[in-house]
């Protein structure tokens, strides 16, 4: 296909460059201005259509503008959009989370995944009365000072020393985060044994970015943290309700003490949550833990009714028979289609992840941890993404997010784009 940019879109892009740092929102390619989305596709301001594997960075699991979600939102809008008080829809959504997610006995809503991860780490500190958190190199836990430690270090240091990934982070915070390699249970065990009296918690993405856990890794972490009485936190902002209705903890069969949720549970609106054991979540309740143990949490839009009804409608779609079977079938077709085309073209690459969420790394060898993925050819990835976009497929800098709305026509468009991209990379 031939992309074109209208005068209208060009003017919008120029305005963005004038009023926004780097011309964008800080998320994905700023030269693309999305006008609308429907099902598994989006259209830019020039009218170009794309099969959408960005999906708003994951929230649109049931597709853009799903009629059931739209209906729920439009029914609520004239009744009020936010109250800064309990509302029935938010309470019903919390009930649905408790019923679905294995670790969830209590739920507290926030507006973003970054907030959820920050509060989950703070909860662990309040519960354990310790300061240090163990995370895994390359694990993404939001944009807080603590989250932005050893997410994408350009010069990986010696474990367990944390490296800040952003300007403006106090140097002192490096001492409060310990870092281990993902999928290395021996390294994590050694760190926990050495620092068990200082550790407040261990936080991990059950599938780290697009790297699946090796057999026994999550189970080993669960046994290790339970043995030492250290809360285990699953960051399920991405994987929650995506791999299974109960999230990655249900999919992999490992129950943490706390988890964070986001993206899918808001149905495309700003909503995230911390969920977990009642005795740990009690630190949000001054009456239960007293002043010294109380963890205040206030958010203007937390659990607002618009996001809550969108989330409830989304979960209703996900509960329908055959939902996850269809989602996984679509993802498997795309993963195998990409892998086989790159292999046939002689392109060194590994397709890694799970069918609802996967990525390609342009490198040889097994992808076990961050340092393996860091070997990927970044220039080749940029070229790959560019060729896909030129051929009607939109994705982020990394990751393919799969939705229930992606149909046979979308799959055919994607596979054709993979053909072109594989040939371009082999040339």
Q: Are residues 204 and 233 in the same domain?
A: yes
Q: Which of 197, 200, 195 is nearest to 127 (CA)?
A: 200
pLDDT of residue 2: 67
Going residue by residue through the chain (427 aa), what tens digit of pLDDT does each one get? 667 788 888 888 899 899 999 888 888 766 789 999 999 999 999 999 999 999 999 999 999 999 999 999 999 999 999 999 999 999 999 999 999 999 999 999 999 999 999 999 999 999 999 999 999 999 999 999 999 999 888 776 678 888 889 999 998 888 999 999 999 999 999 999 999 999 999 999 999 999 999 999 999 999 999 999 999 999 999 999 999 999 999 999 999 999 999 999 999 999 999 999 999 999 999 999 999 999 999 999 999 999 999 999 999 999 999 999 999 999 999 999 999 999 999 999 999 999 999 999 999 999 999 999 999 999 999 999 999 999 999 999 989 999 999 999 999 999 999 999 999 999 7
Q: Are residues 208 and 293 in the same domain?
A: yes
pLDDT of residue 363: 97
Does 1 fall in a domain? no
Q: Are residues 206 and 224 in the same domain?
A: yes
Q: Are residues 169 and 278 in the same domain?
A: yes
Enumerate residues 6+ apart whose C-beta is below 8 A from 15. Answer: none
Q: Are residues 155 and 266 in the same domain?
A: yes
Does 309 fall in a domain? yes
Does 198 fall in a domain? yes
Provide the domain count of the chain. Answer: 2
Q: Which of 353, 142, 350 is nearest to 242 (CA)?
A: 353
Does 363 fall in a domain? yes
pLDDT of residue 201: 98
Here the CATH number for the domain that contains residue 247 is 3.40.640.10
Range of the domain at 362: 7-65+322-426
**pLDDT digit string, tens, across residues 191-228:** 999 999 999 999 999 999 999 999 999 999 999 999 99
Does 13 fall in a domain? yes
Catalytic residue, from 119, 127, 140, 252: name it.
140
Give the dihedral sign, CA 99/105/111/117.
negative
Q: Put the strands of the sheet holding 350-354 in their side by side order.
A: 350-354, 357-361, 400-401
Q: Are residues 49 and 74 in the same domain?
A: no
Q: Are residues 158 and 252 in the same domain?
A: yes
Report d(CA 115, CA 330) in Å as an integer: 32
Domain boundary among 318, 347, 370: 318
235 is an active site residue: yes
Report d(CA 185, CA 86) in Å as an integer: 42
Domain boundary among 286, 318, 350: 318
Cα separation values, 184 from 126, 140, 153, 365, Å? 28, 17, 18, 17
Structure tokens at 256: 């943490």
Does 2 fall in a domain? no
Domain boundary among 294, 318, 342: 318
Report d(CA 135, CA 213) in Å as an integer: 14
Q: Are residues 290 and 361 in the same domain?
A: no
7 is an active site residue: no
Here the CATH number for the domain that contains residue 328 is 3.90.1150.10
pLDDT of residue 18: 92
pTM of the model: 0.96
pLDDT of residue 156: 67
- The full DSSP string for 224-246 is HHHHHT--EEEEETTTTTTSSTT
Report d(CA 300, CA 143) in Å as an integer: 19
Does 217 fall in a domain? yes
Catalytic residue, from 184, 235, 372, 410: name it.
235
Q: Are residues 294 and 338 in the same domain?
A: no
Catalytic residue, from 263, 359, 395, 401: name it.
263
Q: Are residues 152 and 284 in the same domain?
A: yes
Q: Are residues 422 and 311 in the same domain?
A: no
Does 133 fall in a domain? yes
Q: Are residues 406 and 301 in the same domain?
A: no
370 is an active site residue: no
């Amino acid at each position: 296909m031939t992309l074109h940019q209208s005068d209208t879109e060009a003017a919008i892009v120029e305005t963005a460059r004038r009023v926004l740092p780097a011309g964008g929102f800080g998320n994905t390619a700023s030269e693309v201005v999305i006008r609308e989305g429907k099902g598994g596709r989006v259209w830019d301001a020039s009218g170009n259509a794309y099969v959408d594997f960005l999906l708003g960075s994951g929230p649109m699991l049931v597709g853009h503008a799903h009629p059931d979600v739209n209906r729920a939102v439009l029914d609520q809008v004239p009744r009020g959009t936010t109250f800064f008080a309990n509302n029935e829809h938010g309470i019903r959504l919390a009930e649905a989370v408790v019923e679905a997610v294995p670790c969830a006995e209590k739920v507290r809503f926030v507006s973003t995944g970054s907030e959820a991860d920050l509060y989950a780490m703070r909860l662990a500190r309040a519960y354990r009365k310790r300061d240090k958190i163990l995370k895994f190199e390359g694990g993404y836990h939001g944009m807080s000072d603590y989250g932005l430690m050893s997410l994408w270090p350009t010069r990986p240091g010696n474990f367990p020393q944390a490296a800040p990934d952003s300007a403006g982070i106090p140097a002192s915070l490096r001492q409060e985060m310990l870092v281990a390699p993902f999928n290395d249970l021996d390294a994590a065990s050694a760190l926990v044994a050495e620092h068990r009296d200082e550790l407040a918690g261990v936080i991990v993405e059950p599938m780290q970015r697009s790297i699946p856990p090796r057999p026994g890794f999550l189970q080993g972490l669960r046994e290790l943290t339970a043995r030492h009485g250290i809360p285990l936190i699953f960051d399920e902002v991405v994987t929650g309700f995506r791999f299974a209705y109960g999230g990655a903890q249900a999919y992999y069969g490992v129950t943490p003490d706390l988890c964070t949720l986001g993206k899918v549970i808001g149905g495309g609106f700003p909503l995230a949550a911390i969920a977990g054991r009642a005795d740990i979540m009690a630190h949000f309740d001054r009456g239960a833990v007293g002043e010294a143990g109380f963890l205040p949490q206030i958010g203007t839009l937390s659990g607002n009714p618009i996001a809550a009804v969108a989330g409830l409608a989304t979960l209703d779609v996900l509960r329908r028979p055959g939902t996850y079977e269809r989602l996984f079938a679509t993802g498997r077709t795309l993963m195998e289609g990409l892998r086989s085309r790159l292999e046939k073209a002689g392109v060194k690459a590994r397709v890694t992840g799970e069918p609802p969420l996967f990525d390609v790394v342009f490198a040889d060898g097994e992808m076990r941890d961050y340092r393996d993925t860091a070997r990927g050819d970044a220039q080749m990835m940029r070229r790959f993404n560019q060729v896909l976009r030129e051929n009607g497929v939109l994705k982020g800098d990394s990751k393919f997010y799969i939705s229930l709305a992606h149909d046979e026509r979308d799959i055919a468009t994607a596979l054709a784009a993979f053909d072109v991209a594989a040939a371009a990379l082999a040339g």
